[in-house]
Amino acid sequence: MVRVKVCGLTNEEDIDAAVHAGVDAVGVVVGFSSSPRNMTLDAASRLFRRVPPFVCKVLVTTVDIVKRETDTIKRLAPCAIQIYGEVERPAFIRERTGASLILPFRVGGGKGPEKEKVRQFDAVLTDTYDSTALGGTGRVSDWNFCRALRDEITPIPLILSGGLNPRNVAEAVRVVEPYAVDVSSGVELSPGKKDMSKMKEFVKEVRRASW
């Protein structure tokens, strides 16, 4: 069964709605001041406290924040950190925080991530390349490339993101057969505000395509 992560959650109401929709993981963004979904670590802590057992809490942040706020992040107890920037010692960060590490990779340059680097992470998340943004572009990735990348990095799990929404996610799942899918803007009413009905429909389409 393909897992579902809803990312860019900014308020308790949307956390509750995502959990009610049946997602497997929720993501909170910290450290990206230009993003309308950006939160502080204190706000992330409040949101994570709303997440029940068996739903994964994912902190989406930067290497600099992890280095500077390691103790605070450890208290947040995320099950995974989606970490942006040059990670020199993934094993050390994993040990210090107690969290799995997700390597973001922007699809569009024609090459995959270095195999040696991939082996140091617990999963790879694809997004669409944009020269002005590290992620969350809302643009559809090359699914055939993502499928080839999935095959190349196995058994490391691949998380597919990039322009997914309730209308196209079933086809994306069929083409790529990822471990999980990740959505943010595709289930929103406006930047940072989720749509309950879209989240429910997204989860339903993923489950339908997974069987």
The catalytic residue among 42, 79, 127, 182 is 127
Contact at 8 Å (CB) between 57 and 51?
A: yes
Q: Is 146 a catalytic residue?
A: no
Q: Is 127 a catalytic residue?
A: yes
Q: Which residues of 165-183 are buried (b: 16+ CB within 10 A; e: fewer)?
A: bbeebbebbeebbbbbbbb
Burial class (CB in 10 A: 0-12, 13-18, 19+), 3: middle
What Cα–Cα distance (Å) separates residue 190 from each residue in 9, 148, 185? 12, 33, 8
The catalytic residue among 7, 14, 146, 182 is 7
Q: Which residues are catalytic?
A: 7, 127
